Chain A
């Protein structure tokens, strides 16, 4: 049972185009939604994150759009560059017993930006 569903599994975009990756979740207890970027041979690194009290967050060419009612959030990469070629993971975080937190991960999207 995948609590965070990510699509597409892979994506090919031309340089300068817009890359869009989507995620959906079911548990309304999630209160923090990060996106991670992973290059081959490296660990994932936080790219951008959003909390459900805002509908959009932008950092440079990267934007998260958040739709609380639909329980969906997406990553938009504007003016995609070959250096953006990587695997992108969405995640959702919630508190549980003992005020601890846990991240639930999507399965990842492999993005290739053609020059």
Chain B
């Protein structure tokens, strides 16, 4: 695997609590992405970053925020978790060409 580490790998949390997922890369890649994957919906982009402190919304950004204070770290925060945010979350990175994306192992989040 490309040098991408997602943490935690699994998390169960209660509705209404804040949750932060971390993506750490050792590849010094410019682009970083957060996706969620749900049956029947494929991969949906939540937020992405094209550099330190440069982030933008994806197609399903409501209820999520991100931060990128260092090249290697991209944090995804669920401000107040809801059951609809139960999903598998993937972080991905890509280099300057922005073409090939490398994915992390995923974080399975369950909101009860």
Contacts and interface: CB of A to CB of B under 8 A. Distances in A.
Given A100-B50, A106-B42, A108-B42, A45 B31 contact: no
Interface stretch (B66-74, B77-85, B98-106): B98-106
B59 to A, nearest CB: 9
Interface centre among B48, B50, B100 (most CB of A within 10 A): B100
Contacts, number: 53
A101 B98 contact: yes
Interface size class of A (residues with CB under 8 A): 20 to 34
Contact of B100 (A49, A100, A105): A49
- For chain B, the bracket of interface size reads 20 to 34
B34 interface: no
A43 B48 contact: no
Main secondary structure of the interface of A (DSSP, over half): strand
B105 A42 contact: yes
Contacts of A89: 42-43
Given A43-B90, A43-B106, A98-B50, A103 B101 contact: yes
Contact of B105 (A43, A46, A100): A43
Contacts of B32: none
B103 A101 contact: no
B109 interface: no
Interface string B1-45: 100000000000000000000000000000100000000111111
A93 B94 CA distance: 12
A93 B99 contact: yes
B100 A44 contact: no
A24 to B, nearest CB: 15
Of B101, B104, B106, most A-chain CB atoms within 10 Å: B101
A49 B92 CA distance: 17
A44 B1 CA distance: 11
Given A42-B105, A43-B105, A89-B43, A102 B100 contact: no
Interface of A: 6, 32, 34, 41-46, 49, 89, 93, 95, 98, 100-103, 105-108
9 contacts: A41-B106, A43-B106, A93-B99, A101-B98, A102-B48, A102-B98, A105-B42, A107-B40, A108-B42
